[in-house]
Structure 1
Amino acid sequence: MAGKAGSTTAKQVAAACLRLPPLPSTSDLVKLYNLRAVKQLSQNFLMDHKLSSKIVRKSGRIRDCHVCEVGPGPGGITRSILEQGAARVTVVEKDPRFLPVLELLRDASHGKLHIELGDVLTYNMEKLFPPDLALPWEDRPPRIHLIGNLPFNVATPLIIRWLRDISLRRNAWVNGRVRMTLTFQEEVVERMVAPTGHAQRCRLSIMCQNWCQATHKFTIPGRAFVPKPDVDVAIAHFVPRVEPQIPLEFWLVEKVVRCVFSFRQKYCKRGAGLLFPEDQRDEQIKKMFAVADVNPALRPFQLTMSEFNRLCHAYAAILEQQPSLAKFNVRERIVIVDGADYDDDNGGVIENIM
């Protein structure tokens, strides 16, 4: 009996260590500091503590892990991360208006919370986590999590940048297969996880599923946010794959997928034709689909990952014979160069990805 009582006491002490000192609610803090969501920044605050805690739980085991939260705003999710026992939490916030609230949480966290003022789209996390947390890529994911309730105008560009970083194993992913749990518009998450033949299948589906196992965890009704957005919000969880389903450079996969989906309801050969100059288009398309053993009369959303893999490899084989084609872009919206120099800062990869 004494052993059992001692065990219970130990659990109670451990639980107490995870509790923050009494603090005003997130809603009260927003009122206290007169924080208002900026419409131009697509800001929406999640006030419901139960929902914030659910987002953190769906990330996986947080206790004793290191977490980077992007776009914490007034700190609702931050509080839940700390309460669930993270060893260290770093928040990256662009808007300085939230600093007083975050500093209040920092002071209550006993040194566990660290604040970085910066733009997550350009923030480099390579040195953010202790080196001893890093694990080989082929190993299990490290005890590191990325979590964020991001403005809608940032969320999709960010995941595309991070997918590229995953492909290069840089940024946070120098530490291994770091997991991500992020919020998006519900329809965006539906596209991310859409299977072959699904009405929502698009470029974003292929890019997310190629480098990650993407999961739609749950949906939060828009009324839970302040101000209420016009759409519901979905939570997506990403675990980088040990090997991508299309094991080629990011720029090449993106270019092929982007062109193929340019005419979503047409035969896939129509969009793939944009990969080549008009004077050699018919010949190269015939060659590419024959080598890939893909039916050119399929619609883009009907193509499997395996078929996209074969198309990308067939295109790569053509580039070996004609390297200059790598820079060809019929719409001139993006300059395609070799993977080492590929620059997506002008939005070519990011914009219109859906």
Structure 2
Amino acid sequence: MANLRLPPLPTIRDIIRLYGLRAERQLSQNFLLDLKLTDKIVRQAGKLAGAHVCEVGPGPGGITRSILNQGAVSLTVVEKDRRFLPSLQMLSEAAEERLKVIHGDILKFNMEEAFPTDLKRDWQEDPPGFHIIGNLPFNVSTPLIIRWLEALSNHSGPFIFGRTRMLLTFQKEVAERLVAPVKDPQRSRLSIMAQHLCEVKHCFTIPGAAFVPKPDVDVSVVHFTPLKEPLIDLPFKLVEKVVRSVFHFRRKYCRRGVESLFPLERPDLTDEVFQKTDIDPMRRPMTLTMEEFNLICHAYNNICLRIPGIQEYNYRLH
């Protein structure tokens, strides 16, 4: 570990001043200047000594330094905003080739080409020595985690290496949705989609005052470990459609959401779902357990297999 620690460097505050950097509010950017806090965040990823890491949106490099100081053998950072590239390049030189800086969009970044193939593990084995870490801008965090959850279900993208673990930040309200249990008012589509594929842990919350500029909300750190087997063993898009439909009418009975999956002239199909699952259609969406969502998804899938074209039905277009 000792020889992997970084040499003395300017503080993040000095880096920001040196390169004339500022957070863009319209991009939901916020900087963490306290390296003790970035160290605390990175420790939640688990043992990084000897591991390979991909960091999303490093900005001026606070979390980047902490990852390197934890002993990561290689770190690739993917930064879309070119303003941060000079400061990250300076850090790369100090890290003696352990840090590779990529200017680009994480959604277009080819993970398989960027990291060694010998990292790959069978899905049923322990997670690989590869981690995703990111202090995400609020405006991309939810769509990005949905994209990654879909990649996880297909064992593609970051998950070609196996059950890749992720450590990500979200605004507190989103983090609460990700971990919300049955009957919790925050239980939502995001809760089901994350929890049926991952063990999701809310690590801790960072006060907004710790960031520059101070956001209007607090920020939470969330850790994801993919499950060996999904709790709903069906294609991601089908599960997401069912769950989204049910929670679209979250203040109504769950029957209303299931109804929206079928044409108005086919109430018999809605009846069939509840008859097959033995679920009370007057239940509220947030009271449904994961097993009950599993039953609803399978009942819907069986109907889709029996009636061609029913899965393409979209009530908004009718």
Aligned to 1:305: 290
Matches within 5 A, 1:43-192: 43-192=29-178
Aligned pair in 2 of structure 1 residues 62, 332: CA closer, same or farther (>3 Å)?
Answer: farther
In the other structure, the counterpart of 1:30 is 16
Q: How many residues align?
A: 318
1:235 to 221, 227, 248: 221
Q: Match for residue 216 of structure 1?
A: 202
Can you list the C-alpha shifts for 1:264-294, whole angstroms capped at 9, x where unaligned? 12110011100000001x2111101111221
Output the amino acid matched with 2:36: K
Counterpart position of 2:303: 318
Within 5 Å, which residues of 2 pair with 1:199-210?
199-210=185-196
Deviation of 1:211 (Å): 0.8
Counterpart Cα distance in 2 of 1:39 and 1:329 = 36
Contact 1:293–1:310 (CA<8 Å) still a contact in 2? no
> 1:210-230 deviations in whole A, cap 9, x for unaligned?
111111000100000000000
For the residues of structure 2 that align with 1:331 and 1:165, how far apart are their CA atoms?
Answer: 27
Amino acid in the other structure paired with 1:324: G
**1:296 counterpart residue number:** 281
How far apart in 1 are the matches of 2:180 and 2:308?
33
Distance in 1 separating the partners of 2:243 and 2:70: 40
Shift in Å at residue 126 of structure 1?
A: 2.2
Paired residue secondary structure (1:216) = strand
3-state SS of paired residue (1:243): coil
Shift of 1:119: 1.0
- Are the counterparts in 2 of residues 126 and 173 from structure 1 also a CA contact under 8 Å? no
Q: CA deviation at 1:177?
A: 0.2
Counterpart residue number, 1:255: 241
User: Residue type of the partner of 1:313?
Assistant: H
> Shift in Å at residue 123 of structure 1?
2.2
Work out the CA distance in 1 between the residues paired with 2:48 and 2:13: 24
TM-score (norm 1): 0.89
Q: For the residues of structure 1 that align with 2:176 and 2:70, how far apart are their CA atoms?
A: 28
- Counterpart secondary structure, 2:282: coil
TM-score between the two structures when normalised by the length of structure 2: 0.98
Q: Structure 1 counterpart of 2:269, which letter?
A: Q
Q: Secondary structure at the match of 2:201?
A: strand
Q: Deviations over 1:156-210 (max 9, x none)?
A: 1110000000000001101100000000001100000000000100111000101
- Give identity over the alignment, percent: 57
Q: 2 CA distance for matches of 1:300 and 1:124?
A: 37
User: In structure 2, how many angstroms separate the alpha carbons of the residues matched to 1:53 and 1:174?
Assistant: 28
- After superposition, the Cα gap between the structure-2 partners of 1:286 and 1:221, relative to the gap in structure 1 and judged at 3 Å, is same
Instruction: Provide, for residues 328-351 of structure 1, a one-character-per-residue CA deviation record: whole Å limited to 9, x for no partner.
Output: 010149xxxxxxxxxxxxxxxxxx
Contact 1:126 1:170 in 2 (8 A): no
Deviation of 1:127 after TM superposition, in Å, equals 2.1
The amino acid that maps onto 1:93 is: E
Superposed displacement of residue 139, structure 1: 0.3
CA–CA distance in 2 between the matches of 1:304 and 1:323?
29
Gaps of 5+ in 2: none
- State the structure with more CA Rg: 1
Structure 1 CA distance for aligned equivalents of residues 75 and 217 of structure 2? 29
Match in the other structure for 1:11: none
Per the TM alignment, residue 297 of structure 1 is displaced from its structure 2 partner at its CA by 1.0
Write out per-residue CA displacement over residues 86-124 of structure 1, whole angstroms, 9 at most, x where no aligned residue: 000000000000011000100000110001111123323
Secondary structure in 2 matching 1:92: strand
2:252 alignment partner AA: K
Mapped to 1, the partners of 2:203 and 2:192 lie a distance apart of: 19
- Paired with 2:299 and 2:187, the residues of 1 have a C-alpha distance of 22
Amino acid at match of 2:21: L
Partner SS for 2:170:
strand
Q: Distance in 2 between matches of 1:177 and 1:255?
A: 24
- Distance apart, 1:22 and its partner CA: 1.2
Spell out structure 1 runs of 4+ moving beyond 6 A.
none
Q: Report if the CA contact (8 A) 1:70-1:120 is conserved.
A: yes
